[in-house]
Amino acid sequence: MSEPQHAEHEHHHAGHDPAEIDRHVRVYITVFVALMALTIITVAISYLDLPTGPAIALALLVALIKGSLVACFFMHLISEKKLIVWVLALTVLFFFFVLLGPFFTDLDQVRLIGT
C-alpha cells in the first residue's frame, strides 16, 4: 500500500502537480486569446484608411508583439538564462544587418549614378 503513495509523491516532484499544470494551461489559454485578439486587430488595421507607411508600421508593431508572445511563452524563452537571450538578440541584429546590407549598398550606387 505504501508503493502507490510513493509513486504519487514522485509524480508531484516531477513537475506534474495538478495545480502547476492548471497554471500553465491558464497561461497558454491567455496567450492564445491575446494572439487571436491581435490577429483581429491586424485585420482591422487593414480596413483602416491609413497611408501605406503608417499602416505597415502599425501592422509590424502588432506582428512584433505577437512574435514576442510566441517566443516567450510557447518557445519558453521567458524563463531562459540571460546568455541565451543575448545570443538570440545578437542573431536578430545580425539578421537585420544582412537583410538591410544590400539596401544600403544599393543606395551608394544610386548616389554615384546621380552625381
92/41 same-domain check: no
Shared domain for 19 and 73, answered yes or no, is yes
Q: Exposed, middle or buried by CB within 10 Å (0-12, 13-18, 19+), for 62?
A: middle
Is 7 a residue whose pLDDT tops 60?
A: no
Q: Do 16 and 49 fall within a single domain?
A: yes
Count of CB atoms within 10 A of residue 96's CB?
A: 10
Q: How many domains does the chain have?
A: 2
pLDDT tens string 17-76: 898 899 989 999 999 999 999 999 999 988 999 998 888 889 899 999 999 999 888 888
Tell me the residue range of the domain where 102 lies.
81-115
Q: How far apart are CA 115 and CA 103, in angstroms?
A: 19
Query: Which helix or strand (DSSP H or E) is residue 81 part of?
Result: none
Spatial distance between the Cα atoms of 76 and 69, rounded to a whole number of angstroms: 10
The pLDDT tens digits of the residues spanning 65-106 come to 999 999 888 888 787 788 887 888 899 899 888 888 877 777
Domain match, 44 and 91 both: no
